[in-house]
Amino acid sequence: MPEMSRAFRRDEAFYRALFEENPAIKLLLDPEDGRIVDANHAAAEFYGFPREALIGMKIHEINVLTEDEIRAEMENARVGRRRFFRFRHRLASGAIRHVEVHSGPVELQGKAYLLSIIHDVTDRDVFQARLEEAKRFESLGRIAGIVAHDFNNLITVMSANTEVLRRALAKDESLSARVEDVRYALRRATALTGELMAFSKRQATRFETVMLDEIVRDTYGVLARLLAPRIRVELDLASDLPPVRVDSAQMEQVLITLALNARDAMPGGGRLSIGCHEVVAEERDPSGLSPGRWVRLTVADEGEGMTDEVLARAFEPFFTTKPAGKGTGLGLATVHGIVSQTGGQISVETEVAAGTTFRIHLPAATESGEYPLSQFCP
């Protein structure tokens, strides 16, 4: 008996060293009912529950799968059909994390359990998604650039001939009106090719060190005329902002695009708020904003807002919720491309029937006019 007692104590000490004190996130599950029979300190810290509360919970309180799906996956792990799983787990805060789980059967004191080792891969998945998005944008950009270049050549020919027709038919009012319609359509087509060229990054970009609030003030008159009389434009511009290095014309295009989207979202009228403020990030935040000085441009409306489905595709090229012939689907895609080209970031907060807020963060330029390298490095 003393020998068995010592052996058990040795086994228990080994178990504690291997399970409880190990820094990997580990759960010990009862495969019969999915109950968590043990959890180490790393698991308690990750999930945000006190260890005493975590032990005794059912795994379906953490795993977002249904109980039937979880039961099937536990059986797969128990009989060895699978050892590796990808799940989404819910934390005490309600946040959902992507996890990879290595799970297999273990026997302790004559009873079979499942030992699960959990690895949080949320950040990696987010990075991979952004990388895939960048690849899609790059491919579409190449196509858009080729189409825009060829289309622009055709527009040049049509515009030249239309001007000849306009002069020749100046005395015929009915035909002159038709020619003016053609000229208007060509101007719209030229603007569209400009958006395509900007999206493809083939449009010449002239970066200069400027004050973002001055660009907003200069654009204010245009915006007020575009949105009048139904929509009131309000400015909230902080003083002593650091300069940014951008293409002024492209930033004006960003403002006008967001303002026109806001106008469409507020058919009954409302308020459009535009703000400029400095943001100092001390450490990388969940949105990915790097440490450093940033200038934040905020454009907020009181409009219809976006559903989750629309928000997920908001910056997707050629995606539009407008009726056929009313939108190209390039506006927000172009905005995204312009902001990314400056080394900035854009985010959206929206709620159906409660409005939409775009936040654009542009890195502050140094005294030399360049961006500090640290703002683009992890």
Residues 92 and 40 in one domain: yes
Same domain, 14 and 113: yes
Same-domain status, 272 and 348: yes
The total domain count for the chain is 3
* CATH code of the domain in which 297 resides: 3.30.565.10
What φ, ψ does residue 318 adopt, rounded to 5°? 70, 5
Handedness of CA 167, 170, 171, 173 (dihedral sign): positive
Backbone angles phi, psi at 63, to 5 degrees: -80, 135
Confidence (pLDDT) at 287: 65
Range of the domain at 195: 122-203
Written as six digits, the tokens of 27 are 């759960």
The CB-based long-range contact list for 98-107 (8 Å cut-off, 24+ gap) reads: 98/122, 98/125, 103/29, 103/74, 103/77, 104/77, 104/80, 105/31, 105/77, 105/78, 105/80, 106/28
| In a shared domain, residues 88 and 167 | no
The pTM score is 0.50
Last residue of a domain, one of 203, 232, 252: 203
Q: Which of 150, 184, 203 is the last residue before a domain boundary?
A: 203
Question: Is 28 found in the same domain as 58?
Answer: yes
365 and 220 within one domain:
yes
Residue 222 and residue 304 in one domain: yes
Q: Structure tokens of 368?
A: 């030399």
Q: Are residues 231 and 345 in the same domain?
A: yes
d(CA 265, CA 267): 6
Which pLDDT score is estimated for 4? Answer: 39
pLDDT digits (tens), the chain, 378 positions: 344 344 444 566 767 777 877 789 999 999 999 999 999 999 999 999 999 999 999 999 999 999 999 999 999 998 888 889 999 999 999 999 999 999 999 888 788 999 999 999 988 887 777 777 666 666 666 666 666 766 777 777 777 778 878 888 877 777 777 777 777 677 767 766 766 666 665 555 678 999 999 999 988 987 887 788 899 999 999 999 999 999 887 898 899 889 989 999 999 999 999 999 999 988 766 666 888 899 999 999 999 999 999 999 998 877 777 765 566 567 898 888 889 888 899 999 999 999 999 999 999 997 555 554 444 443
Shared domain check, 220 and 134:
no
359 vs 354: CA distance, rounded Å:
16
Q: Please say which residue of 101, 120, 139 terminates a domain.
A: 120
